[in-house]
Structure 1
Amino acid sequence: MVVSRSRRARATRRRAGRMARADNDLTPVQWAAIREAWAGCAYCGATDRALQRDCVLPLSRGGRYTLGNVVPACGSCNASKNNDEVTGWLRRKKLDESAFLLRHREVVVLLSVTPTDTAV
């Protein structure tokens, strides 16, 4: 039990360090626009659950919380994906990889041309 707690504490410290070093520039307004554009979990489409910010390219692999790298994910998908590469994870879960990638691109392009940086 003690080993598990110390391992969890180390993981928490490492993640906090990665977050502090990463250039995270996603604003609350942008996050709201992302949630609205996806209208549910980006991976499974669930609309009846709370959504979390998930990095398509995980922080542990060099990702950041930015407009082009964050999608809304239900807790189940976010926990399952963990820090896996998104396309491999989608294949393993038998989710539609090409539909996700196309929709992700559409949302990024839409939000890149739509002003989302206005104050709340």
Structure 2
Amino acid sequence: MASANSRRARATRRRRRRVAAADNDLLPAEWAALQAAWGGCAYCGVTDRPLQRDCLLPISRGGRYTLTNVAPACGPCNASKGNQEVTTWLRSRRRDERTFLTRHLAVQAELATSPA
């Protein structure tokens, strides 16, 4: 049991270092706009749970917390996705990849044209 806790602690420290080293530029106002534009979890649509920032390309694979790489996700979807790329995870869950990507592009276009 102690080795599992120490592995978890090492993984947490590595993740913190990766996040601190990356150029993360998602502002609180941008996060709020993303949540409003999606209207719930970007993956399952649930609206009655707190949303978490989920990187479409995970930080462990070179992703960053940026407006174009983050989608709001409920806890279960975010935990299930883990460090998989979004398209791989959507396929494994047999979810409609095309619908998600189309919606993602629409949200990005909406945020690009909205006043800052």
Q: TM exceeds 0.5?
A: yes
Q: Which residue of 1 aligns with 2:49?
A: 49
Shift in Å, 1:115: 2.9
CA distance in 2, matches of 1:27, 1:14: 23
CA distance in 2, matches of 1:110, 1:63: 22
Aligned residues: 116
Matches within 5 A, 1:1-120: 1-116=1-116
Shift in Å, 1:107: 0.8
Q: 4+ runs of 1 displaced by more than 2 Å?
A: none
Could you list the runs of 5+ residues in structure 1 that have no partner in the other structure?
none
TM-score relative to the length of structure 2: 0.97
- Aligned-residue identity in percent: 65
Paired letter, 2:29: V
SS in structure 2 of the partner of residue 73 of structure 1: strand
Give the number of the structure with larger relative contact order, counting CA–CA contacts within 8 Å between residues 6 or more apart. Answer: 1
SS in structure 1 of the partner of residue 17 of structure 2: helix
TM-score relative to the length of structure 1: 0.94
Measured on the aligned residues, the alpha-carbon RMSD in Å equals 0.8
Shift in Å, 1:48: 1.2
CA distance in 2, matches of 1:113, 1:58: 26
